[in-house]
Amino acid sequence: MKRLAVAVLAGLAGAGLSVCLAPATAGAQGHGFALFSELKHGPDFEHFDYVNPAAPKGGTIRQGSLLPFNSTNVMRFPGNTPNELSLTFDSLMVRAQDEPAAFYGLLAEHVEIEPAFAAVRFRLREEARWHDGTPVTAADVAFTFTTLRQHGLPGHQSVLRGVRIDVIDERVVEFSPAQPADWRYVELVATFPIQSAAFWRAREVGETTLDVPLGSGPYRLVSVEVNQRTVLSRDPAYWAAALAVNRGRWNVDRIETLYFRERNAKIEALRAGLLDIAREFNAASWARDYDGPRLARGELVRTIHRERSPGTLAALLFNLRRPPLDDRRVRAALACAFDAHWVRERLFRGVYGAPASLYGATDMAARGAVGSGERTILSPHIDKLPDGVLAAPGPPTCAGKSRRGRVRHADALLRDAGWIIRDGRRVSATTGAALTLDYVGTSTGVERAIPAWATVLEDLGVDLRTRLHDFATVRHELLSHNFDVSQSVFSPRFPPGGAERLGWHSENRNVVGYALAGAADPALDAAIEAIATATTIDEIHHGTRAFDRVMRWQHYLVPLWHRDEIWLAHDAGLRLPEGFALKRFGHLSTLWWAPSAHPSTDE
């Protein structure tokens, strides 16, 4: 079994070695750490392998966003901040994009981890500076996470709950949890953007603000116009520009982000030359919406990149807070009525893969009968799980059934759940209330399949009403839990745990903006906790396989398709390092303009 590995400086720095250590029996110190594997790079490495250290610097990148924002306070929840704001702050460590879960020092020059994660200490670099020239101190780090524990996202509050934060001296800060052997707090404190305590002394940390924050990162926020435009400028005096973790990155001088209310306007802006890059999520749009003079002239290109992750599962999501969607048989019937194969082949031209596991074709996916690790997690809750859950990774589906066969099977499930046909309508046998559902979504692709689903449901006597809105409105409805059915995506990463906890743990069921489905399943909770407390890759797999198995058997989602590709449309002059595999939205840090196509940074 692979266990926590950290690069050890003491006694080994000269050899550039790393050692694999069992967290329950040994501690370590060094320039970085890796969860469940060894560090790829020693303390004297020059740059990450996935960058071009000789990339030219300069130019402007214009990108678009559909995510509205109302604040520049990244520590407050609820509140929406621009994603690009993260580029103005540094974190204690940087996560490597070509290793499963490895972290190298940025603000921190040295990290020390005690056995079982009983404590972690960071020593800050003496040269670390805020943009105003003042030093970044241990007090800033402590302020950041003390504030985040009180005002931050529910997931952050949960991870930091019970973690003691001590300032040892001006450059050393220590974190020690109440419950050892939980690596999640180490990952959070290593990667969250550190905030200036001095900046916030004159402001309310629990309130929204649009003030330009004081950062320490590669970019400065130059201007911000709410839901219209943000402008970031590369800091020529950036204190960490020469560090190994930054070489070959942050090549663009200026990043402009334009905000749009709906995706078609964003695509048209790209086609018209008002944007330089856009990421596409919809297969039909990818196939048809980028034609035009710029593409014909070769000024605009489309590139496909493989994700460094299990990929993304698109699915229909039920709101379990609303009866009768809290009944597994009803969910199974509704899933049977939806012909996902027809959607993939007819509406989306076979571009998407057929989904099975939430984790794609990875070792995190449930397969066959449960192993001993999964059984240990699920056995205490077996009386609340469907028959057969231990024997197969998922229940029998309606895939391949004719429309008549799907209707017949769904009808049997609904009748078994107490929903009968009366005067052509599906009603409760006890109350007489009609079974009606609201679908809430945008006009982005999946909605093209909803009328076909509604027709089959009509044969079953179920009334499906469709409410289509712009992206911002739909986001508000979902975060407020004001829907019956909507579309969702599940994009896990390694190490897993974050998406699972925020989306499905019962502790977040009543938190606005989280646990959209509202599940309250002890077996799911147990699987999520098993992931969080895992100390080996095998234990991670036991937890994810249990989670995957329960999700599939309980019909919490209606899987539509799976995708592990990233689709980018961008100006032909933009470059990525050869062979670089994107990781979510990490591409901006390594992009550069080819010298022959280098645009001006003038307004």
| DSSP states along 422-478 | ETTEEEETTT--B-EEEEEE-SSSGGGGHHHHHHHHHHTT-EEEEEE--HHHHHHHH
Q: Are 252 and 541 contacting, i.e. CB atoms less than 8 angstroms apart?
A: no
Tokens of 307: 């994700």
Question: Which residue, among 389, 326, 393, has the nearest Cα to 358 in the 3D structure?
Answer: 393
> Mean pLDDT, to the nearest integer, of 312-336?
95
pLDDT of residue 511: 79
All residues at 6 or more sequence positions from 18 whose CB lies less than 8 Å from its CB, including other chains:
5, 6, 7, 8, 12, 30, 34, 38, 39, 42
How many CA atoms are closer than 13 Å to the CA of 238, on its beta-carbon side? 26
pLDDT above 80: residue 17: no
> Mean pLDDT, to the nearest integer, of 173-198?
90
Over its C-alpha atoms, the chain yields an Rg (Å, rounded) of: 25
Q: Over pLDDT 70: what percentage of the chain?
A: 91
Tokens of 553: 């058997």
pLDDT above 90: residue 578: no
Tokens of 76: 């407050």
- What mean pLDDT value characterizes the chain? 87
Higher-pLDDT residue of 122, 304: 122
pLDDT of residue 586: 57
Hey, which of 211-215, 349-353, 511-515 has the most confident mean pLDDT? Answer: 211-215
Higher-pLDDT residue of 178, 603: 178
Question: Which residue, among 419, 23, 199, 39, has the nearest Cα to 31 in the 3D structure?
Answer: 39
- pLDDT (tens digit, 9 = 90+) per residue, 77-90? 888 899 999 999 99
pLDDT above 80: residue 181: no
> Mean pLDDT, to the nearest integer, of 334-353?
81
> Mean pLDDT, to the nearest integer, of 477-492?
90
pLDDT of residue 79: 82
Tokens of 332: 């199974």
pLDDT band at 289 (very low <50, low <70, confident <90, very high): confident
pLDDT above 80: residue 6: no
- pLDDT (tens digit, 9 = 90+) per residue, 123-144? 999 999 999 999 999 999 999 9
Query: What pTM was computed for the model?
Result: 0.83
- pLDDT (tens digit, 9 = 90+) per residue, 394-442? 999 888 889 999 999 999 999 999 999 999 999 999 999 999 999 998 8
Higher-pLDDT residue of 306, 253: 253
pLDDT of residue 444: 62
pLDDT of residue 3: 34
pLDDT of residue 473: 84
> Mean pLDDT, to the nearest integer, of 184-193?
92
pLDDT band at 495 (very low <50, low <70, confident <90, very high): confident
Comparing 81-90, 283-292, 480-489, which segment has the lowest mean pLDDT?
283-292
| CA–CA gap between residue 26 and residue 20 (Å, rounded) | 10
Tokens of 196: 């200036």
Residue 21 φ/ψ, nearest 5 degrees? -125, 140
pLDDT band at 38 (very low <50, low <70, confident <90, very high): confident
Hey, which of 293-307, 432-446, 515-529 has the most confident mean pLDDT? Answer: 515-529
